[in-house]
Every structure is written in structure tokens, then in C-alpha cells.
Amino acid sequence: MPYFHRSLKPQLHPVPRDAQITHSSGQSFEQLRQGCLQSGTLFEDSDFPASNTSLFYSERPQVPFVWKRPGVMVESMMPVCLHSSGDCWLLAAIASLTLNEKALARVVPQDQDFGAGYAGIFHFQFWQHSEWLDVVIDDRLPTFRDRLVFLHSADHNEFWSALLEKAYAKLNGSYEALKGGSTIEAMEDFTGGVAENFQTQEAPEDFYRILEKALKRGSLLGCSIDIQNATESEARTPFGLIKGHAYTVTGLDQVNFQGRSVQLIRVRNPWGQVEWNGPWSDRSPPMSVSPACLRMAFEDFKAHFDKVEICNLTPDALEDSALHRWEVTVHQGSWVRGSTAGGCRNFLDTFWTNPQIKLSLTERAEGQDSCTFLAALMQKDRRKLKRFGTNMLTIGYAIYQCPDKDEHLSRDFFRYHASLARSKTFINLREVSGRFQLPPGDYILIPSTFEPHQEADFCLRIFSEKKVVTWDLDESLDVNLPEPLKPTPPEQETEEEQQFRALFQQVAGEDMEVTAEELEYVLNAILQKKTSLKFKKLSLLSCRNIISLMDTSGNGKLEFEEFRVFWDKLKRWMNLFLQFDVDKSGTMSSYELRTALKAAGFQLNSHLLQLIVLRYADEKLQLDFDDYLNCLVRLENASRVFQALSVKNKDFIHLNINEAGVSVHLATDIISSLIL
């Protein structure tokens, strides 16, 4: 390959497409390189230093590694490939990448070499969650006894694969983070493509044609043999194949042999050695292939390999003869414990709290009565977070027929309605994808982890042959507060109100105004008699917030008429709390908070709901009455402040310079009302 040979003269290369700069300096690859050339120094990457911290996060090297640049190694290095166990998935993906020149040129930009512009700096581009990132590295590589420790080209005068691995390790935090993985994961990061998985024993009848079309379109293909337990990893089968090892599918052939047509498949072992000893092996007539590749009958392939992974560079339907342009929609979201991490349908009480994505399918696929789309759900940055003990979660999704309303669906909907489609399985892979054909109409897609309370960020991609309108039902925000009731004349007061007046006057004195401390005494004296409301006491903080909400005079005290208006609110809020305190424990689950707040007039989006749960729920994801009341008081206070500042536009606040002094303070109240 023409990548990164030592060159005596500069070469002209096409300029790579734009990708987001990731270096902490904020400078692009070219800016950093020019700086080194002007100063006459070789680049040293402080973001990914030549030290053990870049190698491992949980252990120390058993031998002393020496970081060397290719120019120092090339004269002494022997053509031996040392690899760490668990890296075959990355090796297989790189081997597959080399079969597609356009994809390779995207990942390995050709505006760099060891020629006149060499400055010890290289860059590589990877796809991450719907965007391309440009990762800059220096070319210092870990060695032991003058040999590369990790990836190494068979041609010891080439270093592009070792540098690519280093950039990928930097993207994920360390070399150790690359231990163990799925080939399709790296394939997607190299292409931005979408994955499809096939079990050979369950593959469709036209599986050979599917693979043939995928290869013609430049898709990357990998295959492997499943293991039943850890002891089988890297074990050899009687036919010489390695279990749990990632192979690359490199091609298909049809040959005439002894008067019949035989379908063949070519498979490559990225480690460079193959011991396949079945029909069509290099030990068997009628042909032989290179030591790194094996050729076998397609029927034998299906019998000996369990899984095939296809990374489509575009999600064109592999079973259709015509090429299609697909529309792509991306949704970024999160599963957050206590608010949007509801788990799968097995957990009905929390499943409905998961993010809900509405799909509007309006145009049928050409020549079909249904609409075709592909849904790919990816959990983000799990490999990068391995150093913190984070592993891949078991994820999947379900699709439901949507009722005629654009709002977050409640638990009762899922109690009485079954899903129309779902991912094939919930599995602990980075991405789960599936292809669906549904009649035109509106649908709800629910992405989730299998277990509730598990946190992760996710990226959901919807690919469709025709344009699909999608939106997140959790992003709507609305406040609908009832107008405060007018005070009742003293002569029309109920017996309860007369008792309140007597207690209020006893505490407040002749001015009939109470401080926060006095209000705390009054409310606790009243609420302690509410036997249905199990709680210890209202806090002083809640009472201060109540005065902040109800004090119209601005003197920091609460008058009796203001107290009466608040009491009407409080009675309604108490009834809601009792309604959602399902087990009568005196606490409310944070997962019920969305519905409780909506009943109180606050329809919140997921982001605000997550902030509220983070602030008010305890470690068991429960809110007692004091937390619940404090939350409602602050929400109403923030809403009324916002309404006062947005007279002309209900969605935005516009400030002029004369309003800044007061309005900045009020705007701060809006934020602090939610998170303090």
C-alpha cells in the first residue's frame, strides 16, 4: 500500500474533507504541523503522551516499553508482529478497511508522509455519533527490543496501521481500552456506516447474494465463531479455525469444478496465519491461496462460522436490486437514573418513562405497500469510559402504533397496547439495528436498556427510503397554571379557614404577617393533623420559598390573605402527592414525577426533569412531601417570573439595557429555582 512509506520527495495528495478538530490546543493538523516545521522541532502530543498512562489504566507494563519514531526503528526493526490478546477485532476491521480505497483515504488522509513535510505529526479521521473527528498524534510508538508492541505491518517499512491504532487508542483513552470488542464497532468508526448482523444458521436463502452485493458496494464484512465460555476463546476447531476470533470476509467466487458450479468465499485472518484444513484449503486441491487467507465452499462457511457482520457504507437495502438514496435522521439522548432510565417492557412501572421518538411514515417505498426504514441505536462512549468500570449495557428498542396525540405516552398506554415491531434482541453490543417495513402512519419508538436505572448516552439513527418526519416527544415544554382564587370575605369563611385565621393571628400578632420561621410553625401545626399525609415536617427552606412565591408586597413576610391563596394551592398539591404515593409510604417515586408535575400544570422536557430529579430525589429515587412541595413552589415561582418577562413572546425573554439590573436577577431566579 502507498501509505506512509519513507519518501525522498513531497507527494501531492487530495485534501481531506472537513472534520471536527479535537486537539486541546484548538489548532488543526496543518496548523500544528506548520508550527513544528517553522520551529524545526518534531511534534510531541501532550494530549496523549509517550508514557504508561497512554498504554494502560488498570495495570503497569510487565516489560519496559520504549517509545520510538519510525525513522529510528526502520533500520533495526524485524518484521515480527506482536499483538495483545483481544485486539483481533480491530485487526479484522483494519484489514477490511484496506479493501475499500475511498474509505481508507477518509480514515487515513493522504496529505501526510515521511517526506519533505514530515514533522513527526499525523492525523486520522473517525466517525463518532454522527460527526467526523480529526485525531492528531505524534509518531512515537511503543516498542520492546526494537519491535512494535501492538499492530505492525508485514512490510516493516510501513507504519500506517500502527499509527492508525495509536490514533484510535487516543480516541478511546488508552491502548488498554481497545482490549476486546466487536469488529463492527471499529468498522462503523472507520466509515460512519450502519451495522447489520446475521447468524449463519438463521440467514435468509439469498444470503450469498446479500454478501455479494454488500462487497460490490464497498461494505466492510467480518465473521466469527461463537464461544460458549471463556475457556473456548482462541481455541482451535478440528478444521483449524479459531473460536472467538475475528476474521475478515474479502471476496466471493463462483467456479466450475468437476462439472458443477461451486460458490466460494474468501476469508482473511488478520493475524496472518490460517490453518483451515478442510476442502479448498491450501492443503487441498484444486487451488491454494496466500497463507493469510482461506478459501472455502460457502456451505462449509455457513456450517463452521456462526456470525457475519456487515457495515454498510450507506444503508441501501441489500435485498433490493436497485440502489436507493436514504434519508437520515439522528436523535441524541440519555438514559438518566430516576427520570428516563426505565428499562424494557418487562418493567411496566418505569418503561413508559424512557425517551419516546415519534416517527411519521407518509410515503410508501417504490413498488411496495409499506414504508421501509432502518433503526440503529448506539450507546455512546462506553469504550472510552472503561477506565471507570463502565461496560456495554444491554440495549434495544420497541415500536408502537401512535395514538392521535403528540405527548409523552403514559404507563396505561403500554399496559394495554402491544408493540408492532422491536429490535431482534436486547444485547450488550455498542449498536443494535434492524430493518422494518410498516404501513404508512405514526409510530412511537422507545429506546431503552434492558434493566431499569442504568445510565448512558445514546445516538439513535433512522434511515428511510422516503423522508420520515421524526421528533422527540420529550422535548415539549408547557406551563398551564390556574389563576389564583380571590380571597373569601371573612363573613364567608369556612370553619377550617376560621381555625387557620385564629392560629395565624396567634402566631403573627396584630399585623397578621408571618416570617418564614413563623410560617414553618403554622404549616407544620396544620399538616400534622393530616393523618393521610405521612411526613416528618416542612423545612424552613420550603417556607422561605413559599414566601418568595406568595409575597406580593416584597417585605419578606406572608399576609393572611396571601396564606389563604397558598392554602388552596397546597390542598391541590397534597391530593396529587397522595395520588402518586402508590404504596402510601409518604414518598413518591421520581419516575412518577413527570405525571405528577403535569397534573399540577407543568409539562417539562427531559432535560429539566433530569435536573429536578438530581436536585430533589434521594439516593433511592424517592421524594418526600417536603421535597415535592419545594419543587412545585420553585417551579411556579420560576414560571411566573418568566411570564412576567416574556409579555410579547411566550417562548423567549428579551432584555434591554434598562431592564438588565432587575431582569438578570429574575432570570437567575428562574435557573436557581430548578437546581438550587
Task: Identify whether residues 297 and 350 lie together within a single domain.
Answer: no
Comparing C-alpha atoms, which of 626, 616, 504 is closest to residue 560?
504
CB atoms within 10 A of CB 264: 19
Q: Could you give the CA distance from residue 535 to residue 533 in angstroms, rounded to a whole number?
A: 6
| One domain, residues 334 and 466 | yes
Q: Are 302 and 396 members of one domain?
A: no
Q: At 375, which CATH number?
A: 2.60.120.380
| Residue 343 sits in the same domain as residue 280 | no
Give the chain's mean pLDDT. 83
484 within a domain of the structure (yes/no): no
pLDDT-based confidence at 492, cuts 50/70/90?
Answer: low
Rounded distance between C-alpha atoms, residue 250 and residue 71, angstroms:
32
pLDDT value at residue 219: 87
As a whole number of angstroms, the distance between CA 588 and CA 457 comes to 26
- Single out the residue in 450, 476, 502 at which a domain terminates: 476
Q: How many residues are listed for the chain in this entry?
A: 676
Residue 15 lies in a domain: no
pLDDT band for position 126 (50/70/90)? very high
Quickly state the pLDDT bin for 509 (edges 50, 70, 90).
Answer: confident
Indicate whether 590 pLDDT > 70. yes
**Does residue 5 sit within a domain?**
no
Other C-beta atoms closer than 10 Å to the C-beta of 490 total 10
- Pair 185, 204 in one domain: no
Residue 308 has a pLDDT of 95
**Which domain does 550 fall in, by range?**
490-675
409 falls within a domain:
yes
493: cell is 369563611
483 falls within a domain: no
CB 157 within 8 A of CB 67: no
Which carries the bigger pLDDT value, residue 12 or residue 634?
634
Do 515 and 659 share a domain, yes or no? yes
C-alpha cell at 324: 436507493
- Do 50 and 72 have their domain in common? yes
Q: What's the pLDDT band for 109 if we cut at 50, 70, 90?
A: very high
Task: Find cell 456506516 and name the residue.
Answer: 193
Of 157, 191, 225, the residue that ends a domain is: 191
Q: State mean pLDDT over 655-659.
A: 50
Distance from C-alpha of 482 to C-alpha of 639, rounded to nearest angstrom: 12
Sheet with 247-257: list strands edge to edge: 194-199, 307-312, 220-224, 247-257, 260-268, 293-297
Domain assignment of residue 11, yes or no: no
Does residue 662 have a pLDDT over 50? no
My answer on whether 461 and 591 are in the same domain is no
The verdict on residue 565 lying in a domain is: yes
Q: Of the ranges 92-106, 107-121, 151-165, 178-192, which one carries the lowest mean pLDDT score? A: 151-165
Over 50: is that where the pLDDT of 68 sits? yes
The verdict on residue 253 lying in a domain is yes
Residue 603's CATH number: 1.10.238.10
Return the amino acid letter for 355: P
- pLDDT tens digits, residue range 528-558? 887 778 778 899 999 999 998 888 888 888 8
Same domain, 335 and 458: yes
Task: Answer with the one of 158, 191, 224 that is the final residue of a domain.
Answer: 191
SS3 per residue for 115-154: CCCCCCEEEEEEEECCEEEEEEEECCEEEECCEECCCCCC
Q: How far apart are CA 420 and CA 426, in angstroms?
A: 16
Average pLDDT rounded to a whole number, residues 292-305 = 89
The CATH number of the domain holding residue 275 is 3.90.70.10
For residue 142, whether the previous peptide bond is cis, meaning omega lies within 30 degrees of 0, is: no
Helices (H), strands (E): how many in the chain?
19, 27
> What is the mean predicted confidence (pLDDT) over 637-666?
60
Same domain, yes or no: 142 and 85: yes
Residues 261 and 352 in one domain: no
Query: How many C-beta atoms surround the C-beta of residue 632 within 10 A?
Result: 24
- Give yes or no: residues 290 and 338 share one domain: no
Lowest mean pLDDT among 340-354, 435-449, 605-619, 638-652: 638-652
Q: Please state which of the ranges 114-118, 254-258, 263-267, 474-478 shows the lowest mean pLDDT.
A: 474-478
Q: Which range, 179-188, 299-308, 513-522, has the best average confidence (pLDDT)?
A: 299-308
Q: Is the pLDDT of residue 212 over 60?
A: yes
How many independent structural domains does the chain possess?
Answer: 4
Active-site positions?
88, 245, 269
Tell me: pLDDT of 356 over 90. yes
pTM over 0.75: yes
